[in-house]
Amino acid sequence: MAIAWSAKASSMEALSLSPPMSPPVVLTQDELKRIAAYKAVEFVESGMVLGLGTGSTAKHAVDRIGELLRQGKLSNIVGIPTSKKTEEQALSLGIPLADLDSHPTIDLAIDGADEVDPHLNLVKGRGGSLLREKMVEGACKKFIVIVDESKLVKYVGGSGLAMPVEVVPIWWATTARKLQSLFEESGCVAKLRKDSKGEPFVTDNGNYVIDLYLKKEIGDLQVASDAMLRITGVVEHGMFLDMATTVIVAGELGITIKHK
């Protein structure tokens, strides 16, 4: 669902994708993701410790960082991946890797998002990497989010798609019932995520994911966050509140950069 954003709470700049008077260019969603990712990598400087995101949009950013390293345009980069998949990608590109124990403070993280509301609150984790993403991105000085305009929503959960919650496998059904009950007034339906074989999806951390589908707003997001985390069995949820410092949005009319 693409929407028009209010600029009241933050500064914005728009960059055209095409020269003035040029014919309109129709770009695919993947091309828009790549444009946003390449723009985000312009913020990367040699010597940085980088949080490397997970997902189809973040993949373009990691590819670009690897390319710039090979060209000698970047050097002395250390990456901290947010998933095993990103770790494999980064290693294949020759990006040196480390972890949070050795680098507890990260200069910059770049990642995608499943939803972005007008206040730059996010929903992430539909790829299943929400716990590691939140650990890495919560430790960074700057967190740049890269999306195409389809990810913009009026409120968290507004896409009608999944809001992921990572849970321990034992008695997951009880945890799911508690989560659904918590947001009953928002028309919440909680479902266990399945893999392509119909088995429970297992995260890199050995946990399950309960996907919450919401029909209405859930009210105060911080209150909702605290309530979910108080449920025994919940490991982490996919709401990333007040974490993004910059959001880069690629749309058919150009790039929009929104700063916190």
Catalytic residue numbers read 133
Q: How many CB atoms lie within 10 A of CB 107?
A: 18
Q: Provide the H-helix boundaries in the chain.
A: 29-41, 56-70, 84-92, 130-137, 172-182, 221-229
Q: Please identify which residue in the block is written with the tokens 């669902």.
A: 1
- DSSP annotation of 254: E
Check residue 219 and give left, alpha or beta (phi > 0: left; psi -120 to 50: alpha): left
Q: Please identify which residue in the block is written with the tokens 């410092």.
A: 245
Contact 227, 235 (CB under 8 A): no
